[in-house]
């Protein structure tokens, strides 16, 4: 007898067909956040759920209303809105898609670094606005990238992919902050592990790719930003709440740091009232680290593989967030 699965995101047709073949599939084509009651009703008899950008908190209260649920497959590497303790209590397996988005996300982060350093968008707008009427003067000069020091906060898969680009592509000196040493990165990229404050004081570019946890929530405060060089550039490709956004805005306004490139924000989509939109020394990107045709397809396929394996009572390995559920 087929199990019941709810799909709450649009995925490629061939991957949806795989779900339809394996399960009794229900499509929830509305927004869970704006219609939470309808979403929970759709999940009332579901054995599994699959989708991306979960805006609703999957906690004990939620799971008490979805008693048959045994597996959740998120089309993402992050799982901030899933309460792991509640999942364990209710025996719900959670899978994510960490490996398939590594290179695409690293590409985007390095794009932000390069475009922010060379002021690419700002200078492009100068031309579009008809303001390029003479040779560029020093107030529009950018910053070199090659040979500089990059400080990577979080030396996981994506951090290592960024270190590879920095070391081999731009002859950059790589330093990093991480809970544990990463000997493979140290050997391959001549990377050096330092304490957080030392990385912030030393690096010309700070790249944040840490997961959001209670320990990293607002990790980068006003005091931490003050440690950075006035010429330093900050790139955030992790989660918006790793940085105190108001402190960052103040640091950009006062030129405590030179500039920032941001793909993530405390509130998403970014409100039109955000002061970030008024600053020339910040480059904004709408949370698109994995947004390439190839990567998004690979993520959907991986997530489908995950839910099929989980509901067949197979044990996912590297994509299984909470193996303690069993």
Q: How far apart are CA 64 and CA 15, in angstroms?
A: 29
Contact 320, 313 (CB under 8 A): no
Q: Is 239 a catalytic residue?
A: yes
Residue 185, CA atoms < 13 Å, CB-side half-sphere: 26
Which among 120, 148, 114, 147 has a CA at the least distance from the CA of 136?
120
Phi, psi of 37, rounded to the nearest 5 degrees: -65, -40
Q: Is 90 a catalytic residue?
A: no
Catalytic option among 239, 241, 245, 296: 239
Catalytic option among 223, 268, 294, 314: 268
Which among 157, 153, 33 has a CA at the least distance from the CA of 96?
157
Contact 77, 97 (CB under 8 A): yes
- State in Å, rounded, how far the first CA of the chain is from the last one: 22
Phi, psi of 78, rounded to the nearest 5 degrees: -80, 150
Mapped onto helix, strand or coil, the DSSP state of residue 28 is: coil
DSSP 35: -
Contact 241, 212 (CB under 8 A): yes
DSSP 156: S
Catalytic option among 18, 93, 287, 296: 287
**What is the H or E stretch that residue 86 is in?**
helix 84-90
Angle at 290 (CA atoms; ends 126, 28), nearest 5 degrees? 115
Q: Is 314 a catalytic residue?
A: no
Q: How far apart are CA 160 and CA 255, in angstroms?
A: 30
Structure tokens at 31: 């927004």
Q: How far apart are CA 268 and CA 31, in angstroms?
A: 15
Q: How far apart are CA 266 and CA 257, in angstroms?
A: 20
Positions marked active-site: 239, 268, 287
């Amino acid at each position: 007898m087929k199990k019941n699965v709810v799909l709450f995101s649009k995925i490629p047709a061939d991957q949806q067909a795989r779900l339809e073949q394996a399960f009794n599939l229900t499509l929830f084509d509305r927004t869970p956040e704006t219609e939470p009651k309808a979403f929970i009703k759709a999940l009332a008899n579901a054995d599994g759920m699959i989708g991306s950008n979960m805006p609703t908190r999957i906690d004990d209260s939620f799971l008490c209303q979805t008693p048959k649920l045994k597996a959740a497959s998120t089309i993402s590497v992050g799982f901030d809105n899933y309460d792991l303790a509640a999942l364990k209590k209710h025996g719900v397996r959670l899978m994510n898609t960490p490996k398939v988005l590594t290179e695409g996300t690293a590409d985007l982060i390095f794009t932000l670094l390069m475009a922010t350093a060379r002021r690419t968008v700002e200078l492009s707008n100068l031309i579009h606005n008809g303001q390029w009427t003479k040779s560029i003067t020093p107030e529009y000069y950018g910053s070199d990238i090659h040979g500089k020091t990059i400080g990577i906060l979080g030396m996981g898969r994506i951090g290592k992919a960024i270190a590879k680009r920095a070391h081999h592509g731009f002859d950059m000196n790589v330093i990093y902050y991480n809970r544990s040493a990463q000997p493979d990165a140290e050997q391959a990229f001549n990377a050096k592990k330092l304490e957080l404050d030392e990385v912030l004081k030393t690096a010309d570019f700070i790249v944040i790719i840490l997961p959001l946890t209670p320990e990293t929530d607002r990790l980068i405060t006003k005091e931490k930003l003050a440690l950075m060089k006035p010429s330093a550039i900050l790139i955030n490709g992790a989660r918006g709440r790793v940085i105190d956004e108001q402190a960052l805005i103040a640091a950009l306004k006062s030129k405590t740091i030179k500039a920032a490139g941001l793909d993530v924000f405390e509130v998403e989509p970014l409100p039109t009232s955000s002061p970030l939109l008024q600053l020339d020394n910040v480059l904004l990107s709408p949370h698109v680290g994995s947004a390439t045709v190839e990567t998004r397809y690979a993520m959907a396929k991986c997530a489908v593989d995950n839910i099929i394996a989980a509901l067949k009572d197979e044990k996912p390995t590297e994509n299984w967030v909470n193996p303690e559920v069993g």
